[in-house]
Amino acid sequence: MKKYGVEIVDRPKIKPIKEFDLSGVKGEKIIKSLTEKILIRHEKAFKRLQGM
Q: Report domain extents, the chain.
A: 20-52
- pLDDT category at 8 given cuts 50, 70, 90 is confident
Q: What is the mean pLDDT of the chain?
A: 87
Considering only 2-6, 29-33, 37-41, which range has the smallest mean pLDDT?
Answer: 2-6
Global pTM?
A: 0.52
- pLDDT category at 17 given cuts 50, 70, 90 is confident
The DSSP output letter for 28 is H
Reduced to 3 states, what is the DSSP secondary structure of residue 8? coil
Residue 39 has pLDDT above 80, yes or no: yes
